[in-house]
Amino acid sequence: MRTIDGALYVASEKFESGKTSRIADKWSGEAIAEVFLADSKVAERATAASVVAFQQLRDVSNYTRKKLLSAIARGIEVDAEHLSELLARECGKPITQARGEIARGVSTFEIASEEATRIGGEVMPLDVTKPSEGYRGEWFRVPAGPVLGISPFNFPLNLVAHKVAPALACGASIVLKPPPQCPLSALALSEIVREAAEAVGAPENILQVVPCENDVAEKLVTDDRFKLLSFTGSDKVGWHLKSVAGKKKVLLELGGNAAAIVHDDADFDFAFDRIFGGAFGYAGQVCIKVQRIYVQNATHARFLEKMAVKARDTKPLEPMNDQAVLSCVIDEANAKRIESWVNEAIQAGAKLIAGGTREGSRVMPTVLSIDGSGKGMEVVDDEIFGPVVTVHAYETWDDALAMASDTRFGLQAGIFTDSHARIRQAIKRIDVGGLIVNDVPTFRVDNMPYGGVRDSGLGREGVRFAIEEMCEQKLVVYRDGVKAEQRAGVQNMPKK
């Protein structure tokens, strides 16, 4: 079992001085660790070391990078139960879901180990015009440069993995700012990466984790030595960071208010079970959690009644309880915000079917029935990031598509129907990065392209697709050999 001492490992040195941040068990409030925060000088050391590490790592063979990533996956696997417990405590994730996240982290690095050997290019003819006869070309993907990653609290290991794994696979070093509420999983991962790098002969400082305050983080964002910023978090913060990021590439994975549509030809019980888990698992603190549910009139009353009964029977439980569907939310401030949004919706005409109360940071699963679209209510328009759903009735498929699409977000959506015609209509009309057919929008596999449109982000994650974001295309043009008489002819051409 690894001991997280809160120290920072930056530029091949251990830093154990300066300002600290207290990391607490989110359920009990008990202190877990004191983590040292990087000041501007330590952040500068990390940046300079990352530049050196990049120059070394880009010259490492694909085979060695493959071994490195595989070794990281094995390191996570060996420590899986300890990491799961650490994650459950520092972010309040139910232990069964924490174990699932750790397993996904292993998978993410395994996928990256395979993709490290597939970063190719293309040979292409250039002799397509008379002047270009004798020319041929090829292009390669090369790492753009050091990466700066900023990750959120809700998946403190696997969303870190989605920045670290593709960076190392393509030969880019990375400096990572972990979430302030739960940095311990990222610090544990950095130790695993250091051990794996030493074991396979990879360079030092290829990953440096720097917990820091926002002013230090923003200086990192503006630093031109980083060639790509990969940010996952709120849309407000993400778009602000893009505005100050300068010339670097920016990859934004932001929020959503995902819709699920249930038509009357769907498997009702299957749709209900999947939607309930997608709405309330981990207290709804998932970017693609089910937030808005649209159910056709024929089954709306039945769906709402079943949702009310199950929501009332589901209570927040201590994260280490194997029966927990949800625990607390990340802090009491967010619990109060969620409660206020629910109360505002009720005052605006929403009907409270279940929940609507909280105890400290523990928010009861909440179901709101809303006539019509509910536009203008924060629980509909914005990202609730909590255990709250709105349920709406609709008459026609066109009505459902119109309401589901009427949002500034566009991350993922789910539809339940057996009609290929309706599926094709949804593909055309719901403006999202991912449409999930006969399952919830919460579905994600770590090799698929993942990202949104509109206010939900820019670019795509998923290991292969993040690698493409982190690389540049480099073209090489070859001219065939020129015979001596041709050279003489060229030399004797009149000059202008």
Residues forming the active site: 253, 287
Q: Token digits for 403?
A: 């309401």
Closest C-alpha to 97, from 274, 280, 275, 282: 282
Q: Is residue 38 packed enough to be buried (19+ CB in 10 Å), middle (13-18) or exposed (0-12)?
A: buried
Which amino acid is present at 168?
L
CB 387 within 8 A of CB 398: no
Structure tokens at 247: 């010339």
Structural contact between residues 174 and 147, judged by C-beta atoms closer than 8 angstroms: yes
CA distance 447 to 131: 43
CB within 8 A of 218, min separation 6: which ones? 241, 244
For residues 401 and 425, is the Cβ–Cβ distance under 8 A?
Answer: yes
**391 contacts 367 by C-beta, under 8 angstroms:** yes
- Complete DSSP assignment for 274-343: HHHHHHHGGGG-STT---EEEEEHHHHHHHHHHHHHHHHH-----TT-TT-S----S-HHHHHHHHHHHH
Strand 135-143 relative to strand 471-479, pairing? antiparallel
Quote the CA–CA distance of 157 and 338 in Å, as a whole number.
Answer: 25
How many angstroms separate the CA atoms of 261 and 293, rounded?
6
Q: Is 61 exposed, middle or buried (0-12, 13-18, 19+ CB in 10 A)?
A: exposed
Paired with 352 in beta bridges are 368
Contact 75/110 with Cβ under 8 angstroms? no
CA distance 488 to 493: 9
Residues 216 and 21: beta-carbon distance below 8 Å: no
Number of neighbouring beta carbons within 10 Å of residue 474:
11
Q: Which two tokens stand for residue 156?
A: 């403190």
CA 380, CA 457: separation in Å to the nearest integer? 19
Strands annotated E in 102-210: 121-125, 135-143, 147-150, 174-177, 207-209
